[in-house]
Amino acid sequence: MTFPVAKNFTEDRIEIKDELVKTVGKIADENKFEAYVVGGYVRDLLLGKEVKDVDFLVIGEGLKFAKIVAKYFGKKVTVYAQFRTAMIMLDDRKIEFVGARKESYRKDSRKPIVEDGTLDDDLARRDFTINAIAVSINEETFGKIIDPFNGREDLKNKIIRTPLDPERTFDDDPLRMMRAIRFASQLEFQIEERTFEAIKKMKDRISIVSQERITDEFLKIMMSDKPSIGLKLMQETSLMRIILPEVAELEGTEQRTSSEDENTARYHHKDVFQHTCQVVDNLARVTDNVWLRLAGLFHDIAKPRTKAFKEGVGWTFYGHDILGAKMVRSIFRRMKLPLDKSKYVEKLVRLHLRPMALVDESVTDSAIRRLIVQAGEDLDDLIKLCRADITTRNPKLVQEYSRNYDIVVQRIKEVEEKDRLRAFKSPVNGNEIMQALGLNPGPLVGRLKKAIEEAILEGIIPNDHDKAFEYLMKIKDKIIAEYEQGKKEEKHIG
């Protein structure tokens, strides 16, 4: 949904053809309220971006006006009395109301003490100049722009700055530091120098903000068209060291990169943090899946902890894939990210080196089968991550690596078509094994089932129920005998 926008950032009025806004303006006139649209709605309208949700600012009793509007539309109003705000859902649009107010803060809390205020008070309390622009919706002054902090000029120049002293702004509400970076990343704007320096100085204040609010802003940064803007700003302001120290540690960790000339490449290194930012940007160009983007952010997370220099080879990071996967869950817990998504990210981090290892023509089908089974339904995402991991500036190497992945994808396709392995599991399940062999539930059943799966992966038998059952009957006596012998040895040692 888009609406006509101002032709430039210096006009005194803006044309709004949004029928919802016009209707709310008429309700305001009929009930003698002075009302405005403010915040992100005005900002995005001026930028020509799609606008849907609307913030209304009312001089006087904002909650009373919200109830009048809700009654007009026959909708329920949700009131947040502590913050003097109200919200109404109209189909797929969310509209919010607030009475003009001024705020003050205690040193140990980002929850404001709210008092009635003027329009100027309300605009002054807002986070950034680009969000401190109001537009009248009353008939007499409809479309008139109120911009006391030159927010339109900052929109024109692509600048993020605070209306008031930035140190005071961030001291009052430290989450605004993350919001500054988020807007810079989403809009691809620059943070004004004083504002940027204030974030560096006030960074430790972020500790009073709830993890959930920080994580919400971080995920919005990760969903930007170019997340590296926000990631680099977090690093430059040292917020990254507080919020995601594992990512911050990537800076300064060097890795040898390839070159056409091995002599010049020998001691040429590439910073892992910069590489990681590029990987995330590469993924952002091909997917909106934030969890896949996070896998890109975390894929080399263990390199600082596994780094070693080997003469003639360069920097090595043996086992960083395995250790990195183990680190993911603790990060998810600390960041209060959904743990059900952690397994997906862990898997991709753990497997991100595997596809390139399968390029060699001597690699067997069984190795391909194991990758297919281990990646399961996430195999396509794994390949996207691997392709995004190509960050060399050497066009010949880009072409070579891309061609190698094409080879792996083709081999995967051939094996999949032959063996039907995606979401693989034994065609003979545990219940059937117990019934056929008269066994009770226990480790032996799992061992027999595992033997069938291994035989399929090694290409000894096809992924077929009858062939698998036939194989079970062939190997059961040997597996059972080995299991019983193992139990006897354990008992003897005990």
Annotate 444-455 with b (16+ C-beta within 10 A) or e (fewer): bbeebbebbbeb
Same domain for 197 and 133: no
In a domain, 13, yes or no: no
Same domain for 445 and 314: no
The upper half-sphere exposure of residue 105, i.e. CA atoms within 13 Å in the direction of its Cβ, equals 14
Q: What is the mean pLDDT of residues 409-432?
A: 75
For 133-159, how does the pLDDT look when each residue is reduced to its tens digit (9 = 90+)? 999 999 999 999 999 999 999 999 999
- 311 pLDDT exceeds 80? no
In a domain, 466, yes or no: yes
- Give dist(CA 52, CA 208) in Å, integer: 32
Q: Could you say which of 157, 186, 216 is where a domain stops?
A: 157
Q: Could you say which of 419, 441, 461 is where a domain stops?
A: 419
The three-class DSSP label of residue 309 is strand
- 421 pLDDT exceeds 80? no
Same domain for 76 and 97: yes
Confidence class for position 105, pLDDT limits 50, 70, 90: low
Q: What is the pLDDT of residue 401?
A: 84
Annotate 93-104 with b (16+ C-beta within 10 A) or e (fewer): eebbbbbbbbbe
Confidence class for position 45, pLDDT limits 50, 70, 90: very high
- 353 pLDDT exceeds 70? yes
Same domain for 336 and 265: yes
Alpha carbon 200 to chain centroid distance? 23
Find, among 332, 326, 338, 344, the residue nearest to 380 by Cα.
Answer: 344
Q: What is the pLDDT of residue 256?
A: 59
Who's near 261: CB < 8 A, 6+ residues apart?
none
Q: What is the pLDDT of residue 263?
A: 38
Confidence class for position 420, pLDDT limits 50, 70, 90: low
Same domain for 406 and 479: no
- Structure tokens, 457: 């992966």
Looking at per-residue confidence, does 169 or 110 come out higher?
169
- For residue 267, CA distances in Å to 221, 261, 310, 314 come to 34, 12, 12, 7
Same domain for 447 and 376: no
Highest mean pLDDT among 37-41, 388-392, 448-452: 37-41
In a domain, 107, yes or no: yes
Same domain for 436 and 412: no
In a domain, 225, yes or no: yes
Same domain for 67 and 115: yes
Q: What is the mean pLDDT of residues 309-316?
A: 76
Same domain for 263 and 176: yes
- Give dist(CA 37, CA 27) in Å, integer: 14
- Structure tokens, 38: 């403010």
Alpha carbon 15 to chain centroid distance? 35
Looking at per-residue confidence, does 239 or 465 come out higher?
239
CATH code, 136: 3.30.460.10
Beta bridge mates, 371: none
Same domain for 368 and 235: yes
Count of domains forming the chain: 3
Highest mean pLDDT among 74-83, 278-287, 398-407, 413-422: 278-287
Q: For the ranges 13-22, 62-71, 353-362, 432-441, which has the lowest average pLDDT?
A: 353-362
Q: What is the pLDDT of residue 259?
A: 44
E runs forming strands in 49-149: 54-59, 77-80, 85-90, 93-99, 101-104, 113-116, 134-136, 145-146
In a domain, 163, yes or no: no
Same domain for 112 and 76: yes
- Give dist(CA 148, CA 144) in Å, integer: 13
In a domain, 109, yes or no: yes
- 112 pLDDT exceeds 70? no
| Structural domain for 478, as ranges | 430-493
- Give dist(CA 96, CA 100) in Å, integer: 13
Find, among 275, 7, 31, 264, the residue nearest to 143 by Cα.
Answer: 7
Residue 227 φ/ψ, nearest 5 degrees: -60, -25
Who's near 325: CB < 8 A, 6+ residues apart?
346, 347, 349, 350
The total of other beta-carbon atoms located within 10 Å of residue 325's CB is 23
Q: What is the mean pLDDT of residues 387-392?
A: 90
Same domain for 84 and 41: yes
The total of other beta-carbon atoms located within 10 Å of residue 1's CB is 8
Q: How far apart are the first and last CA of the chain?
A: 73
- Name the strand (E) or helix (H) holding 271: strand 269-271
Who's near 17: CB < 8 A, 6+ residues apart?
3, 4
Q: What is the pLDDT of residue 371?
A: 86
Torsion of CA 161, 166, 168, 169, to 10 degrees: 30
Q: Could you say which of 419, 443, 462 is where a domain stops?
A: 419
Q: What is the pLDDT of residue 10?
A: 56
Q: For the ranges 157-166, 213-222, 261-270, which has the lowest average pLDDT?
A: 261-270
- 366 pLDDT exceeds 70? yes
Mean pLDDT rounded to a whole number for the chain: 87
Q: What is the pLDDT of residue 23?
A: 96
Place of tokens 């008939």: 139
In a domain, 25, yes or no: yes
The pTM of this model reads: 0.81
- 493 pLDDT exceeds 70? no
Q: What is the mean pLDDT of residues 438-460?
A: 86
The runs of H, that is alpha helices, within 33-192 are 40-47, 62-73, 119-124, 151-157, 166-172, 175-187
In a domain, 1, yes or no: no
Q: What is the pLDDT of residue 411?
A: 84
CATH code, 254: 1.10.3090.10
Q: What is the mean pLDDT of residues 266-290?
A: 87
Q: What is the mean pLDDT of residues 325-330?
A: 96
